[in-house]
Amino acid sequence: MNEITYEIGRRIYKVRKEYNWTQQKLADKSGVSCAYISRLENGNDFCPTVGFLCEIARALKVSPKWLIFGDSYENSI
């Protein structure tokens, strides 16, 4: 597990829980498999694709930049 992937998964989990969604519900809304979402949330995908991350971000109504970089991205501009 690397730190960046872990943080992406943590952000996905956090927002998903705010919506009270299961991984399956997020999978249905994003078009990304439930297994892939599980791997991301557990930090087990070492190279998440930008396309899938954008679809997840769209479903969660968050910026892809925030999903990938977190608050530090906004503060570094």
> Using 50, 70 and 90 to split pLDDT, how confident is the model at 72?
low
Pairwise CA distance, residues 21 & 32, whole Å: 14
Give residues with Cβ within 8 angstroms of 63, minimum separation 6: 57
What is the domain-level CATH number for residue 12? 1.10.260.40
> Using 50, 70 and 90 to split pLDDT, how confident is the model at 1?
low
Higher-scoring residue by pLDDT: 2, 77 = 2
Residue 73 has pLDDT above 80, yes or no: no
Q: Are 56 and 12 in contact (CB under 8 A)?
A: yes
Q: How confident is the model at residue 2, as a pLDDT?
A: 80
Q: Which domain holds residue 62?
A: 3-75
As for how many domains the chain has, the answer is 1
pTM, two decimals, is 0.87
